Chains A and B, each alone.
Chain A
């Protein structure tokens, strides 16, 4: 854990760029976060990345707050603050600045084309996020079984994913995974 100015600046720039490239929502940026922090900077392992992602999903608050956890792991408390501001700041400024204009052109052809064009890209990015989280999480058959069961619950039932999280944590506690 290093919270020197150079690390914090790098963290800020990475997430500030991602803030504006996370199309369709924060989940789209997960593959690039993993690439930057695990593959390039090697600040944490694949497994740690997936575990931190899971902790953020299990706790209340916006899912994007995964970046605070990631920032904290890399650079302590300043890292958590910097990552949060960088990930949320630029997109919020943009959203407040253009929301009225974009809203006015809701029925314009360019806006409909952009909106429709972003959909398949977002699908590809969320699928990539799923692949990356699963790769870091599923080390054995027990893990795969939990993933498959949670998928089934989340996909076919209206049971809260938190129930699945709680069951999975319990299974882990008794040594199943």
Chain B
């Protein structure tokens, strides 16, 4: 799998330990990958990231903390669900495409089954008074959690001088959240503008 190891190890001789495995435990098998991510999936109450980090870095030793952070940064940079992308890229680096699929099946499979079960209960009993109240409470709590996430993300903006990034964040919020414009449409306009500002700012530094 030398073609799917990170480029951090250029001109590695055939058979030389790759950047991924040099400091880590032996390369896991397909079955092990799938089972590991299935374990992460069903135990990860309250967000998968912390569980995945603990499993891959601390318990299994398949990655170093730095490798995990680099991979996470990469997946946050790319579009799509971060943790799912991370799982696919990790699987791909370990065992190629079958490895990526094994990790995805492990991470998503148990969760799909769980969601179908929850969805069935919701459809059948969601309107019952007792469950209705529980759902109202849950929804109100979920709103609080996501507002907190939004505020935490926005904090760095509060610490810098008012500039184009504030305008970009506000415009995106209004266009998507208030005016309810199409997301792809909004992004096709605002993302190039925002990147252009960031490019110019890099000039000033």
A interface residue numbers (CB < 8 A to B): 1, 17-27, 29, 31-32, 35, 39, 47-48, 50-65, 68-69, 72-73, 77, 80-81, 84, 87-88, 90-92, 94-96, 98-100, 102-104, 106, 109-134, 136-139, 142-144, 146-155, 160-162, 164-165, 167-177
Q: Does residue B35 face the partner (Cβ distance < 8 Å to A)?
A: no
Contact A122 B134 (CB under 8 A): no
Contact B119 A138 (CB under 8 A): no
27 pairs from A and B in contact (CB 8 Å cutoff) = A26-B80, A51-B135, A54-B141, A55-B135, A59-B118, A60-B42, A62-B84, A64-B83, A69-B115, A69-B118, A73-B119, A112-B198, A125-B176, A129-B146, A137-B139, A139-B136, A142-B140, A147-B141, A150-B142, A151-B148, A154-B145, A155-B152, A164-B144, A164-B145, A168-B140, A169-B134, A176-B133
Which of B70, B82, B153 is within 8 Å of A126, CB to CB? B153
Contact A126 B100 (CB under 8 A): no
Question: Would you give the shortest CB distance from B39 to chain A, in whole angstroms?
Answer: 11
Which of A58, A65, A124, A127 is within 8 Å of B168, CB to CB? A124
Q: Does residue B7 face the partner (Cβ distance < 8 Å to A)?
A: yes
Given A103-B6, A128-B177, A129-B150: A120 in contact with B140 (beta carbons within 8 A): no
Q: Within 8 Å CB of B190, what residues of A?
A: 121
Interface size of B by CB at 8 A reads: 96
Q: How far is the CA of A84 from the CA of B104 in the complex (A)?
A: 11
Given A50-B142, A62-B84: A155 in contact with B79 (beta carbons within 8 A): no
Contact A122 B153 (CB under 8 A): yes
The interface bits of chain B over 185-205 (1 if a CB of A lies within 8 angstroms of the residue's CB, else 0) are 001001100111111011000
Lowest 4 CB-CB distances: which A-B pairs, in order?
Answer: A91-B80, A124-B172, A150-B144, A172-B137
Given A18-B183, A39-B180: A91 in contact with B140 (beta carbons within 8 A): no
Known: A59-B114, A123-B169. 18 other contacts (CB 8 A): A23-B187, A51-B122, A55-B122, A60-B111, A61-B41, A63-B47, A64-B84, A65-B115, A90-B80, A103-B7, A109-B202, A120-B165, A120-B194, A126-B153, A130-B147, A148-B144, A150-B141, A172-B138
Chain B residue at minimal CB-CB distance from A35: B180
Q: How far is the CA of A29 from the CA of B176 in the complex (A)?
A: 10
The CB with the most chain B CB atoms within 10 A, among A55, A117, A147, A165, is that of: A117
Q: Does residue B92 face the partner (Cβ distance < 8 Å to A)?
A: yes
Q: Within 8 Å CB of A168, what residues of B?
A: 137-138, 140-141
Contact A121 B169 (CB under 8 A): yes
Contact A62 B41 (CB under 8 A): yes
Which of A51, A55, A102 is within 8 Å of B74, CB to CB? A102
Contact B7 A175 (CB under 8 A): no
Given A117-B198, A126-B150: A91 in contact with B84 (beta carbons within 8 A): yes
The CB with the most chain B CB atoms within 10 A, among A20, A92, A165, is that of: A92
Q: Within 8 Å CB of B125, what residues of A?
A: none
Q: How far is the CA of A172 from the CA of B82 in the complex (A)?
A: 32
Q: Within 8 Å CB of A59, what residues of B?
A: 45, 111, 114-115, 118
Chain B residue at minimal CB-CB distance from A172: B137
